[in-house]
Structure 1
Amino acid sequence: MMKLKKVFFTLPLILLSMNSQSLFSQNTKSVVIEYQEKRAVNEEKIKNLPERIQQVVRAKSKWRKSVLIHNEEGSYYMLQDKIEDKTVTVSDTQKRTVKVGQKVFFNDFLTNNSYQELRMYNENVLIKDKLNKYKWELLSETKKINDIVCKKATTTNEHGRTVVAWYTDKFGITNGPQGYYGLPGLIVYLDDGKYTFKMDKVSFSDKKLDLLKPSKNANVVTPEEYMNNYVNGKSSKSQRGNTTTTRRRVQN
Structure 2
Amino acid sequence: MVKKIVVGLFFLIVIGLPTNAQKRVMFERVSQIDTSKLIYHYIYTFNDKGKEEKARMVLQVGDKIQRFSSMENYLTDSLALAFNNKPQDKKIIMTKMNENIRKVDFRGDVRWVLYTNYPTGKRSITDRVFMDRFLTEEEEVLPEWQLVDEQKEIAGCLCSKATTTLYGRKWVVWYSEKESRPDGPWLLKGLPGVVVCAEDSTRNFSFELYRIEWRSVPILFRDKDYLKASRNDVLKAMKRFYDNRAQYVAATAAGQQTSDLPKTDPINYTPLRKIKE
Question: Following superposition of structure 1 onto structure 2, how do residues 2-21 of structure 1 map, counting pairs within 5 Å?
Answer: none
Q: Give how far 1:227 is off.
A: 4.3
Q: Give how far 1:189 is off.
A: 0.3
User: Are 2:130 and 1:121 equivalent residues in the alignment?
Assistant: yes
Structure 1 CA distance for aligned equivalents of residues 161 and 119 of structure 2: 27
User: Are 2:192 and 1:184 equivalent residues in the alignment?
Assistant: yes
Q: Give how far 1:225 is off.
A: 3.2
2:156 is aligned, of 147, 162, 180, to 147
2:227 is aligned, of 215, 219, 227, to 219
Structure 1 CA distance for aligned equivalents of residues 142 and 118 of structure 2: 13
Query: Equivalent residue for 1:250?
Result: none
Larger Rg: 2
Aligned-partner SS, 1:183: coil
Q: Using a 3 Å threshold, how does the CA distance of structure 1 residues 135 and 68 change in structure 2: closer, same or farther? A: same
Query: Equivalent residue for 1:162?
Result: 170
Structure 1 CA distance for aligned equivalents of residues 204 and 138 of structure 2: 21
Query: Equivalent residue for 1:199?
Result: 209
Q: Give how far 1:81 is off.
A: 4.8
2:62 is aligned, of 71, 86, 94, to 71
Q: Using a 3 Å threshold, how does the CA distance of structure 1 residues 154 and 232 change in structure 2: closer, same or farther? A: farther
Deviations 1:53-107 (A, max 9, x none): xxxx44x1x4x3221111221111222259x97999xxxx888x99975221211
Q: Which amino acid aligns with 1:204?
A: W
In the comparison of the two structures, how many residue pairs are matched? 191
2:71 is aligned, of 67, 80, 85, to 80
Q: Give how far 1:230 is off.
A: 4.8
Q: Using a 3 Å threshold, how does the CA distance of structure 1 residues 128 and 110 change in structure 2: closer, same or farther? A: closer
User: Are 2:29 and 1:38 equivalent residues in the alignment?
Assistant: no
Identity %, equivalent residues: 20
Note the residue ranges of structure 2 that are not aligned, 5 or more in a row.
1-26, 29-35, 88-92, 102-108, 254-277
2:116 is aligned, of 107, 119, 127, to 107
Q: Give how far 1:128 is off.
A: 2.4
Structure 1 CA distance for aligned equivalents of residues 204 and 122 of structure 2: 24
Q: Which amino acid aligns with 1:157?
A: L
Q: Using a 3 Å threshold, how does the CA distance of structure 1 residues 170 and 103 change in structure 2: closer, same or farther? A: same
Q: Using a 3 Å threshold, how does the CA distance of structure 1 residues 142 and 109 change in structure 2: closer, same or farther? A: farther
Query: Equivalent residue for 1:130?
Result: 139
Q: Give how far 1:116 is off.
A: 2.1
Note the residue ranges of structure 1 that are not aligned, 5 or more in a row.
3-28, 47-56, 242-252
Aligned-partner SS, 1:226: helix
Query: Equivalent residue for 2:19?
Result: none
Asked if the contact 1:126/1:214 (under 8 Å) is kept, the reply is no
Asked if the contact 1:72/1:109 (under 8 Å) is kept, the reply is no
TM-score normalised by structure 1 residue count:
0.61
Q: Which amino acid aligns with 1:108?
A: N
Q: Which amino acid aligns with 2:205?
A: Y
Q: Give how far 1:216 is off.
A: 5.5
Q: Runs of at least 4 residues of structure 1 off by over 3 A?
A: 84-88, 97-101, 227-237
Deviations 1:174-229 (A, max 9, x none): 22112322223211101123211111111113x4x321225463222223433455
Asked if the contact 2:158/2:176 (under 8 Å) is kept, the reply is yes
